[in-house]
Amino acid sequence: MDEALKQWFSNRFQDLFQSQIKHYRTSVVDRLLSTFSQLEREADEFERRETERMEKLVDPEMEFGDFVEIIHARTIDYYISVSGIRQVLVNLLTVGLFHLFEQQVTQFVDAFPHKSDGDKRLFVRLGKILEDQKCKSEDLPHWELLTEELRRVANTVKHGPGDSANKLAARKPELFLPKHMADGTFDVQGNYATSPIAEEGIFVTLDDFTKYAAAIVELWDAFSCLKR
């Protein structure tokens, strides 16, 4: 590939794209999701406060066992609700990660002088640019992970059941399994992704999120065909 093109990409996009992804990842992991790191302790504190509150309200004649059962049920509801909110955030922030990457690719493709064959699909256009430069898109690190898996994660979270969800379930069924069903006995299908923005159907983990973010950074860092 032409040396001037390598330098043009490096100067105009590489540092910018990498820093955007790194800052996004750091903000999500260290600032947003870290607020959920003490959820068990918060549930214990909720149980304590709820016990004190309910002691002033319940009938003194109530059986102690019934009282404990009520408090326990309220605490479980609190824990499940807040855990669900965390899951929704991870799902949505992963969608945001993909769209940030998509916007970066759009910025690169639109700025790069090339002939269009009329296909408007973004990653096809990027692949065509690479092909014109005697490179293959699949030679880029994590190309399939980002353009197939992450893209389908984003589509599934946004739209629920459908072609993306079914293909994603075939590729990575564990995304459709809540932790307590992660033993693989569940019949995983994409059509179970009924309400991803209501914490149901798809369960992107923080490890998934950080893996995708690192993959984008490595793709822009290596851009392997540019370094030949």
85, amino acid identity: I
Given a cut of 80, is residue 173 above it in pLDDT? yes
Written as six digits, the tokens of 107 are 């910025």
Give the chain's count of helices (H) and strands (E): 9, 0
Range of the domain at 29: 3-227
Percent of the chain whose pLDDT exceeds 70 = 84
Q: What pLDDT sits at residue 224?
A: 47
CB 212 within 8 A of CB 94: yes
Domain count, the chain: 1
Which backbone phi and psi does 172 adopt, to 5 degrees? -140, 80
What are the DSSP E strand ranges found in the chain? none
Question: Measured on CA atoms in the order 156, 159, 161, 162, is the torsion positive or negative?
Answer: negative
Given a cut of 90, is residue 132 above it in pLDDT? no
pLDDT band of residue 144 (cuts 50, 70, 90) is very high
Residue 68 or residue 205, greater confidence: 205
Residue 58 or residue 169, greater confidence: 169
Given a cut of 90, is residue 150 above it in pLDDT? yes
CA distances (Å), origin 81, targets 47, 77, 78, 120, 227: 14, 6, 5, 41, 48
Of 3-7, 46-50, 74-78, 147-151, the range with the lowest mean pLDDT is: 3-7
Q: What does the buried/exposed string (b/e) look like for 13-25 if buried means 16 or more CB atoms within 10 Å of the residue's CB?
A: bbeebbebbeebb
Given a cut of 50, is residue 198 above it in pLDDT? yes
Please state the pTM of the whole predicted model: 0.83
Written as six digits, the tokens of 63 are 């059986």
Mean pLDDT of 178-203: 64
- Cβ within 8 Å of residue 221, ≥6 positions away: 14, 18
pLDDT band of residue 186 (cuts 50, 70, 90) is very low
Instruction: Kindly compute the dihedral angle of the four CA atoms of residues 150, 152, 154, 159, in this order, to the nearest 10 degrees.
Output: -170
Closest CA to 82 of 42, 109, 129, 121: 42
Alpha helices in 112-183 (DSSP H): 122-132, 143-144, 151-159, 163-171
Given a cut of 70, is residue 3 above it in pLDDT? no
pLDDT band of residue 185 (cuts 50, 70, 90) is very low
